[in-house]
Amino acid sequence: MKEKRGDIFSGIVIGVLAVVYYVYSFQIQQTTSDVLGSRFFPQLAAILLLLLSAILIIQALRKKTEPEEENTKIENTKKINLPLILTTVALFVYYILVLNIGFTITSILYLLFECWVLMPDNIKKNKKMLILVVLICVAVPVFLNTVFYNIFHIQLPVGALFR
């Protein structure tokens, strides 16, 4: 049932996106250098996408409904997946900090944080392993920056603050 609801929901979202994509295709300057022009292909893709989203919804609606739906719904809404939320937020924070304080420092902070989030609890209690993880978290960004700067002559982002 969860799958059925998910399919109907994704069908609707994709259908709406297809309509928006089609509408915005009229902003593309129409060219006459060839028969189809620059609008045809995006418009065709949007129409096909709309058709397929409709088929997905029809397909989902014809699926057999199972009775235990309500219980699973309650269970699902109760659980908030903290590691997932932290990982997603960390990705955006990593991006923003890279722009401001540069690649090396941000990457060390990101690695320490993300390793902590993903680390199984038994490793968190293992001091030797923890020291090793911290060393790796510091060494990897420093190594990458050194290799890229000195060998490949590519400057990784230094950050607005250090420019």
**Strand ranges for 4-117 from DSSP E:** none
10 closest CA partner among 56, 70, 73:
56
- Residue 70 C-beta: closest distance to other proteins, Å: 20
Q: How far is the CB of 71 from other proteins (least distance, A)?
A: 20
Phi, psi of 71 (to 5 degrees): -60, -45
Q: Cβ 16 to other proteins, closest distance in Å?
A: 13
Indicate the residue among 17 and 74 with the shorter CB distance to other proteins. Answer: 17
Give the nearer residue to other proteins in terms of CB position, either 101 or 157.
157
Produce one character per residue of 52-76: b if its CB has 16 or more CB atoms within 10 Å, e if not. ebeebbeebeeeeeeeeeeeeeeee
Which of 71/122 has CB closer to other proteins?
122
Task: For the CB of residue 47, give the shortest distance to other proteins in the complex, in Å.
Answer: 10
